[in-house]
Amino acid sequence: DTEVTQTPKHLVMGMTNKKSLKCEQHMGHRAMYWYKQKAKKPPELMFVYSYEKLSINESVPSRFSPECPNSSLLNLHLHALQPEDSALYLCASSQGANYGYTFGSGTRLTVV
């Protein structure tokens, strides 16, 4: 298995909802990432997990809460989001500093 699988592909949620995005990889990669991408902009790093521990938080608002339950799974819990949080959320994984990245196909999130 050489893929990063993200679910759901599309999500519409209200500002009072709680939802979660899921990312899964079975390549044994030790680092996993969450990125946020607005239309026609490059991805922006949100969080990095290395060996299941949070190693980078790019000053992301607390309404986004990451979780790494095991080495294959990365979640992003969403609560009380704002319409400006609507974006494509991309997950990626990597074996390490000298290796490439594998990206998922993303979750397109719309906050209404």
- Tell me the backbone φ, ψ of residue 29, rounded to 5 degrees: -70, 140
- For the bound state, the minimum distance from the C-beta of residue 42 to other proteins, rounded and expressed in Å, comes to 4
Interface with other proteins, residue 59, by CB under 8 A: no
Looking at the Cβ atoms of 43 and 64, the one nearer to other proteins is: 43
Extended beta strands in the chain, E state: 4-7, 10-13, 18-25, 31-37, 44-50, 53-57, 64-70, 73-79, 87-94, 101-103, 107-111
Closer to other proteins by Cβ: residue 62 or 98: 98
Binding residue for other proteins, selected from 17, 72, 88, 95, defined by CB under 8 A: 88
Q: Is 66 in the site for other proteins (CB under 8 A)?
A: no
Residue 80 CB, shortest distance to other proteins, in Å, is: 25
57 sits in the region (left: phi over 0; alpha: psi -120 to 50; else beta) called: beta
Establish if 57 lies at the interface with other proteins (CB under 8 A).
no
Restricted to residues 5-34, the positions that interact with other proteins (CB under 8 A) are 31, 33
Closest CA to 111 of 18, 12, 21: 12
Q: Are 5 and 104 in contact (CB under 8 A)?
A: yes
Instruction: Kindly list the residues in this chain that would bind other proteins in the complex (CB under 8 A).
Output: 31, 33, 37, 41-43, 45, 48, 50, 55-56, 88, 90, 92, 97-106, 108
